Amino acid sequence: MKTKAKSRLERLAELCPETAEIVARIQADKADGFIPEPRRTFKECLSWPEAWAFVFHRACLSYRDFLRWEGNKIVCVVWPDPEFDDQIVDVLGKIAERIGRNNDLTEMRLIGTKITPQGVVQLKSIFPKASINSYSREEAERNDTLKYVNTRVKWIAELHANNRPTPQ
């Protein structure tokens, strides 16, 4: 009997037991259709959820923390990475040329990115219904609700509870 080859995630979970819980969450999200399988190139993206999966996979960012879904639509994106620049905006523009503008997105938060004002204008044309706001990393550190789409995530709450000063 032939055994099924293990995925990279399954091999990672075996090699590093600390990641087993994270791997299990990712696999459950994929099984539920929450995370589309990332495409290898932007040219393979056929929908905006696939496009976001591609971009976030390339940036090694968690979908769960930075994309808010309503049904099968992504309505909020938080980009907390200084590597998000006009080149990535250009890729999003090329995707929009192929599959159309994204009218589902209602909010985009840029945290400490390197996007120029011209890049923001281009983002507004790609995501016409989205409010696009830029914040400094310092502003985001002072306001937890800016950094993630879901601040009720257990690990975020624990992280911030441990870092809060105790009352004197």
Mean pLDDT of 28-35: 61
| pLDDT score of 77 | 93
Confidence band, pLDDT 50/70/90 cuts, at residue 26: low
Domain limits for position 125: 65-163
Most confident range (mean pLDDT) of 7-11, 118-122, 146-150, 162-166 is 118-122
Please report whether residue 6 resides in a domain. Answer: no
Q: Is residue 47 part of a domain?
A: no
Rounded distance between C-alpha atoms, residue 52 and residue 42, angstroms: 10
Average pLDDT, the chain: 79
151 belongs to a structural domain: yes
pLDDT in tens, 92-139: 999 999 999 999 999 999 999 999 999 999 999 999 999 999 999 999
In a domain, 1, yes or no: no
Q: Answer yes or no: is 93 within a domain.
A: yes
User: Ranked by mean pLDDT, which of 7-16, 35-44, 109-118 comes out on top?
Assistant: 109-118
Specify the number of domains making up the chain. Answer: 1
Compute the average pLDDT of residues 50-62: 81
**What tens digit of pLDDT does each residue of 67-83 get?**
888 888 889 999 988 88
* Across 37-47, average pLDDT: 75
Share of the chain above pLDDT 70, in %: 74
Model confidence band, residue 168 (pLDDT cutoffs 50, 70, 90): very low
Q: Is residue 16 one of the residues assigned to a domain?
A: no
